[in-house]
Structure 1
Amino acid sequence: MKMSDFLPHTKEEISEMLKVTGFSSVEDLFSDISRELRPKSFNIPQGLSELEVVEHLKSLGLKNNVHLVNFLGAGFYDHYIPAAVDALANRSEFYTAYTPYQPECSQGWLQSIYEYQTAICELTGMDAANASLYDGGTALFEAVLMANRITNRNKIIIDNAVNPVYRSMLYTYTSNLNIEFIETAVAHGQSLRADIYKHLDDKTAAIILQNPNFFGAVDNHADIVKEAHDCGALVIQSVYPVSLGMLKSPGSIGVDIATGEGQCLGNPLSFGGPYLGFMAVKKEFVRKMPGRIVGATEDKDGKRGFVLTLQAREQHIRREKATSNICSNEALCALKAVIYLSLLGKNGLKELAEYNYRMSELTKSFLDKIPGLEVKRSSPTFNEFVVCLPRNAEEVVDAMFKRGFACGFPLGRFYKDMGKYLLISVTERRTASEIELFAENLKEILCS
């Protein structure tokens, strides 16, 4: 099939366009490309009808393992998404919109971003939020740069129980920057204070913590925040938004910059994205915050309106002084998040968090009965916890996969001395009967 078979123009129209442009053939349009560099063939298969395309896509979709009973988390969670989220977010006026450069034409979009920012502030207990970060790891990276700008220091202390994916992204993004990273240890699931304080000094820009941490352990970081502030350093805390229905918010313990992954707020797992990073800060730092910020204002007639404010991107007025080069608009994911939070409401989020916690504790009680398996209980947890198996966790994961279960994350992939440890997550999607069946199958595999 020739490339021309995919073009809508007739031979007469092509001839007319060539005549106007002064070329004798379509090939002449590519004369600047040397002949040896031109494609010999596009190798495009014959076209298909709409019906054939739909059936082909369905057959590809059937290759996905969409029917696994999911106990896998590790930063990305299988939460239920109410039907209203997609029904509202998929309205054409939302999903076709892009960057709202012209506020007079984008009031609906700007208000949705403003409401999202408000929801994130209420959720985290912080003063201001932005609305244009790619994911939780990117948000953490931007928080580090922000801390460097605020303190004029370049040393970062990072807890070893911060998500390893985030840490890897952080090191990659900063590889050409003059930033010193020091990883500190974890003891029994908790941030090791003595290790953190040993490295804390007047060169420290920030301490990075996570709550719950990668192992699912819940910690109260208020004492670390105080020590950091006494030393002139900031505290960045990465949080799991659903857990904030139960746990203390970052703002309530004095955290300076709160970040996290917003996928769990109405966005599907979707094989890795698109996701939604959020960032919220204290008011005093808002001018150092990257990305888009939508503000409420009034027009000349006194009517309420919305605009992009404190614009700090390189495409805007600050250019080389920009605080970020974030270019993509994550507002559709942010819209899903604010719809999700609005549907739940304050009490609904609390109920959801408590239910997640209860189902996680129920799962622990079933797993306690399996010989040779140890549920780690050195720290309180939310909906994710670690178990130690009598054999290699990767092997167990593969065996459970064949039985229809994504049974958790093998920690040996990121922590070399934890080959027998498995990280298990339980959300509201899991029923008591599924949990019981999960435990039965795991027992059979471990005792065989």
Structure 2
Amino acid sequence: MRPIPYLPHTNEDRKEMFDFLGIKSMDDLLKSIPEELRSFELNIPDGKSEIEITEEFRKLSNKNVSLAEQISFCGGGVYHRYIPSVVNEIISKGEFYTAYTPYQPEVSQGTLQAIYEFQSLVCNLTGMDAANASVYDGSTAVVEAALMACRITKRKKILVAKSINPEAIQVCKTYSWGLNLELEFMDFENGVIDLEKLKLHIDEETACFVISYPNFAGCIEPVSKIAEIVHSKGALLVSNVDLINLAVLKSPKESGIDIAAGDGQSLGNFSNYGGPHVGFISCLKDSVRQLPGRIVGLTKDIEGKRAFTLTLQTREQHIRREHATSNICTNQSLNALAVLVYLAYMGPQGLKKIAEISLNRAHYLAEKLTKDIKNCKLAFNAPFFSEFVLEIPISASKLIAILSKENILPGLDLNEIDGYKTNQVLVSVTEINNMEQINYFVERLKKLFS
């Protein structure tokens, strides 16, 4: 019998090992460690049965309030969208759920094909020529895209719009410090980049300009005009993009974006308390050798049949570290599969309909809030998609504290984010927010601010 069920060795196994080592007990094995370091009691509760543990975790989970029980207008990079049941049904299949890195293509064709199709659909939406198998999340993807631009242009200055997601800004700071890159930030005005000021900030030393389309405030930047200014200095335009919005908006390639990156969380992935999510990077053919992570390619086997395999593996695991494009050593394959199933299930028309519903309901809500409530107004006049910044007569934190008690999440508090005010809240609308919820939210704010 094993003394502890989670340990694989029996008493007979232990005795055999002790005999081989010429000792009699575990104490003999550890005698080189001072007694005072070995004689202590762990301050942890006694072990429990599976029934008791299950009950304890059930009680803990009951303290959570799921988004299904709340009216949520939170966004800012993590969105509450409907996930068709087919998504979880497919990603829960054992061959996907437990699959590891497909180093051996002869036994990994299913996993490789799924990743290849994910890459293909990302390219379809962004208009780009190639996409990688995925990276950790949107913030990582955006920064890795900026580093791509540095390698392509052989320049070390990264210009970043403050209108991108603040989490991406933090990752930019971390990466640029470690790589000794010059990082410069540019303020936004009325929710978007000022083109004349951009002309003053960008120069021949700039590797890239990083924007978001739409940006963190939900506003739509004048991307084509920005691209002209950026390209005139020989720099590249890197942009964070939302794949669902691209079902309606002009594609990144058509807009002049050189590298499009982002997060696929909103496509078939739950909020997951902020992760795990799935980042993606797509680019033009000329830049494909600088894509970080791995890429799955389509080829033929020795019998001439279609086959999938890893290609352009410029990771530090596969080539010399100093030649690697990134130290990212994995991809979010299961999350990427969820994106693939979601996109395949929705199709082009379904995705477009979801984007249009989100856009139309967001504009309806913004109009109702600003027309029906005197003390509410939009912070910016720039065009927006499905998110907008609302200015209210009280602090955002106070509003959230009041309404969260009623299971209403009015949006994100922008108080601690550079460029925003204490009385500004980022409101996001998705297809989950039906008209009943939206009208109730308006009436609740009207009563609160009257």
Calculate the TM-score normalised by the size of structure 2.
0.95
Map of 1:315 onto structure 2: 317
CA contact (8 A) 1:261 1:276 kept: yes
CA 108–32 in structure 1, closer or farther in 2 if over 3 Å, else same: farther
Over aligned residues, Cα RMSD in angstroms?
1.9
1:34-433 matches, cutoff 5 A:
34-38=34-38, 40-66=40-66, 67-368=69-370, 369-376=372-379, 378-415=381-418, 418-433=421-436
AA matched with 1:214: F
Worse overlay, 7-16 or 292-301: 7-16
CA contact (8 A) 1:3 1:42 kept: no
d(CA) in 1 for partners of 2:33 and 2:410? 54
CA 94–433 in structure 1, closer or farther in 2 if over 3 Å, else same: same
CA 130–5 in structure 1, closer or farther in 2 if over 3 Å, else same: closer
CA contact (8 A) 1:265 1:340 kept: yes
d(CA) in 1 for partners of 2:114 and 2:420? 46
Worse overlay, 14-23 or 2-11: 2-11
Q: Which SS does the other structure have where 1:271 is aligned?
A: helix
AA matched with 1:352: I
Residue 289 of structure 1, CA deviation: 1.0
Residue 284 of structure 1, CA deviation: 0.2
CA 230–87 in structure 1, closer or farther in 2 if over 3 Å, else same: same
Q: Which SS does the other structure have where 1:209 is aligned?
A: strand
Deviation per CA, 1:315-361, whole angstroms, max 9, x where unpaired? Answer: 10333311111113311110111111101111111111001111112
CA 82–48 in structure 1, closer or farther in 2 if over 3 Å, else same: same
AA matched with 2:324: A
Worse overlay, 170-179 or 201-210: 170-179
d(CA) in 2 for partners of 1:407 and 1:304? 50
d(CA) in 2 for partners of 1:431 and 1:196? 39
CA contact (8 A) 1:157 1:196 kept: no
Residue 266 of structure 1, CA deviation: 0.6
d(CA) in 1 for partners of 2:153 and 2:351? 35
CA 42–246 in structure 1, closer or farther in 2 if over 3 Å, else same: same
Residue 265 of structure 1, CA deviation: 1.1
Q: Which SS does the other structure have where 1:207 is aligned?
A: strand
CA contact (8 A) 1:135 1:276 kept: yes
Residue 298 of structure 1, CA deviation: 0.6
CA 320–445 in structure 1, closer or farther in 2 if over 3 Å, else same: same
Residue 38 of structure 1, CA deviation: 4.1
Calculate the TM-score normalised by the size of structure 1.
0.95
Deviation per CA, 1:366-422, whole angstroms, max 9, x where unpaired? Answer: 313123111345111111011111121111111111111111012112036511111
Map of 2:441 onto structure 1: 438
1:2-41 matches, cutoff 5 A:
4=4, 6-31=6-31, 33-38=33-38, 40-41=40-41
CA contact (8 A) 1:400 1:442 kept: no
AA matched with 1:18: F
Residue 100 of structure 1, CA deviation: 1.1
Residue 3 of structure 1, CA deviation: 8.4
CA 130–23 in structure 1, closer or farther in 2 if over 3 Å, else same: farther
d(CA) in 2 for partners of 1:106 and 1:39? 50
Q: Which SS does the other structure have where 1:191 is aligned?
A: coil
Worse overlay, 183-192 or 382-391: 183-192
d(CA) in 2 for partners of 1:301 and 1:21? 54
Deviation per CA, 1:261-281, whole angstroms, max 9, x where unpaired? Answer: 111111100101101111001
